[in-house]
Amino acid sequence: MCGIAGIVDYRNGSPSPALLERMLALIMHRGPDSFGIYVDDTAGIASARLSIIDIRGGDQPICNETGSVWVVYNGEIYNYPDLRKELEKRGHRFGTNTDTEVLVHLYEEKGHQLIERLNGQFAFALWDSEKKELLLGRDRLGVRPLFYHQSENRIVFGSEIKTIFADASVPRRLNPLILEDIFTCWAPVNSCTIFQDVRQIPPGHIAVFRSDRAVVRPYWNIRFPEGCDDSIPDRVHEEQIRELLMDAVRIRLRADVPVGAYLSGGLDSTYITSLVRKYFDNRLRTFSVGFSDKSFDETEYQNMAVGVLQTDNERIECSDEDIGRIFPKVIWHAEIPVLRTAPAPLLYLSGIVRSSGLKVVLTGEGADEIFGGYDIFKEDKIRRFWSRQPSSLWRSSLFQRIYPDIFSGDRKRAAPFLNAFFGKGLLETESEIYSHRIRWENAVFLKQFLSEEIRSRNSGAETVESRIISGLPAGFMNWHPLSRAQYLEISIFLSNYLLSSQGDRMSMANSVEGRYPYLDHRLVEYAFRLPPRLRISGLKEKYLLRKVAARDLPVMFAGRAKRPYRAPVVKCFLGGREPEYVRELTSEAKLGAFGYFDPVMSGRIMKKCRNAGGSIASEREGMAVTGIISTQLLHHMFISGFPVPAAGLNAPVRLLDRRTSGK
């Protein structure tokens, strides 16, 4: 795992090694073990390395035998041993034992199609010095990030946006349209980022840049079948899923350093941990996070899992004050406004992993998206069932089965609330975004805090809903409704929020690599072909995964209902000891100066929560408070006073200088 950065300048020529070094200085947390830079008359590419495979011999950048092809790379190629054998048979000579070197030789054989052969989580930059061509590639599900800024004949790229901003010629400003996207569906839509003129390579895409053209194209898509073959016996699906998941775990344990695991106490991480513990690693170290606020805490289930699996577990407990204190660091690494504080405890947790001497952990992310684990999927199923008999009180009462705790079990109060909330647009079942429409339309509450200037600038733009619909794949409406809902969740939420703000960014902030067995593309593709009844049976989420897990786990885990991971919100900022940055950045003066939020409306909700001691009347208020604070922090860090390093790294840098026109 590493951080990568680079500049290709077809107009002015060779980038400055000093600038490349400053870019690396901003992401040295991603790879503190070694640093390398390659420059020639057109391009400069750079790497900050976290050594996991071939610790001594795998320093980057790495080239082919002739020195014409160079690569910097962030991630893991899990099938690299097989690819290496194949390439060696074809006469390629390897100088290292790292998976990185496979890329340059595979490029010599396959050209741009090399990326289709990779099984892994990766982002890479490959420079062909003879063709003067830059390739930027990203893994299928978007586990690893890769951003770029393009202006005329110049491309600046990096694993994190802050590397791009190390170049003073790149403008720094927030995109008001994307801010509204985030306040609607938590994440940017498509390849945009919150920063104007900075884009991401989308998951499953490869970009090719030359002096005269730039092409960004998909090599893999999220595809569900239009029909469903339900003739295959369930036991066959069970065997296939278990076999694929076992292999996904096996290849993700490939490392020259110890590999640990996160253990939340829920089904997904507990099952992964059980497979590692029983079949691969009898001395597994696990890590868990709990909360001093017991309404969010799952310590009981974590302890039960540790007792059953007998792992060496380390646990931390997060308080409200801890989350408030670390939140600015969350935003610095996430590089995006967030509407929840959930990333903060994960940042703490990765710090514990690193202080324990580990660099790699397996986690359970992705299972809910792939196997149908979220409540929003069950909501969609109930709404469609209810829509066929809108007057049925029995059908509408099914919502109380998935939300039994609404109003503390007061069914008389819960039923009217749930019916009113989920009854909006009930009969519009032909809408492409039926599964998510209520949630997104409910964001009107959040958007009321945006300033008049932001709303007026966005008023003539295409809405986020229409942009999502226009980008849907051909045949989308022929898919099963559950598959449609899963597509929306995966394509918008998974890579742009869950795997970034709660995944890569929070682990790599502490130089820890997260690995995700459920997101092995072979397992994902098979799961997409499962009959919908095996993803959700009745209202039982992840039905088939639970059956598979029951072979290795007690029923207390395999059958346990999903509990969403959440963290305390408003009390972290406005209850008790209020962090100084909150009071400063949410003052009327700062809200007005930054220009994103209405000072009166925003001040009103802040005052309300302060006066209530951090208590809130609704979850939406907590999201609004978090969104306002995180956006203000983002502007403060990246727009008002971005800390471009005056000097480079305070560490040795391996410089490979191939310039012919002077140095």
- Quick check: 7 and 148 in contact, CB under 8 A? no
Residue 545 sits at φ, ψ, to 5 deg, of: -60, -40
* Residue 486 CB-half CA count within 13 A: 28
Residue 76 sits at φ, ψ, to 5 deg, of: -140, 135
Q: What is the token pair recorded at 559?
A: 């059958």
Question: Alpha-carbon distance 215 to 95, whole Å?
Answer: 32
Q: Which residues pair with 258 in a beta bridge?
A: none
Nearest-Å Rg of the Cα atoms of the chain is 25
Tell me, letter by letter, the H, E, C secondary structure of 498-556.
Answer: HCHHHHHHHHHCCCCEEECHHHCHHHHHHHHCCCHHHHEECCEECHHHHHHHCCCCCHH
pLDDT along the chain (663 residues), means of 10: 93 94 96 94 95 84 94 96 96 92 97 97 97 98 97 95 96 95 92 96 98 95 90 96 97 93 94 94 89 87 92 93 96 96 96 96 96 96 96 90 74 81 94 95 90 88 90 96 98 94 96 97 97 96 96 87 83 87 95 96 92 77 95 96 80 90 53
Residue in the structure block whose two tokens are 């160079």? 70
Question: Alpha-carbon distance 33 to 59, whole Å?
Answer: 9
Q: pTM value? A: 0.96
Write down the H helix ranges in 310-362: 320-334, 343-355
- Closest by Cα among 570, 619, 623, 567 to 289: 567
- Quick check: 236 and 243 in contact, CB under 8 A? no
User: For residue 32, with 0-12 CB atoms within 10 Å meaning exposed, 13-18 middle and 19 or more buried, which class applies?
Assistant: middle
Q: What is the token pair recorded at 125?
A: 């930059």
Long-range contacts of 104-107 (CB under 8 A, 24+ apart): 104/62, 104/63, 104/64, 104/69, 104/70, 104/71, 105/64, 107/64, 107/69, 107/71, 107/135
Report pLDDT for 81: 96
Question: Alpha-carbon distance 499 to 561, whole Å?
Answer: 23
Residue 516, Cβ neighbours under 10 Å: how many? 20
* Amino acid letter, 577: R
- The domains found in the chain, sorted by start residue, are 2-172+196-220 (3.60.20.10), 234-370+488-558 (3.40.50.620), 570-640 (no CATH)
Write down the H helix ranges in 423-476: 434-441, 444-447, 452-458, 464-470
Question: Alpha-carbon distance 30 to 27, whole Å?
Answer: 6
Question: Alpha-carbon distance 653 to 48, whole Å?
Answer: 9
- Quick check: 86 and 111 in contact, CB under 8 A? no
Q: What is the token pair recorded at 208?
A: 């090719």
| Residues near 118 by beta carbon (within 8 Å), at least 6 away in sequence | 77, 79, 83, 139
Question: Alpha-carbon distance 533 to 152, whole Å?
Answer: 51
Question: Alpha-carbon distance 5 to 164, whole Å?
Answer: 8
Report pLDDT for 1: 62
Q: What is the token pair recorded at 166?
A: 């190390």
User: For residue 494, with 0-12 CB atoms within 10 Å meaning exposed, 13-18 middle and 19 or more buried, which class applies?
Assistant: buried
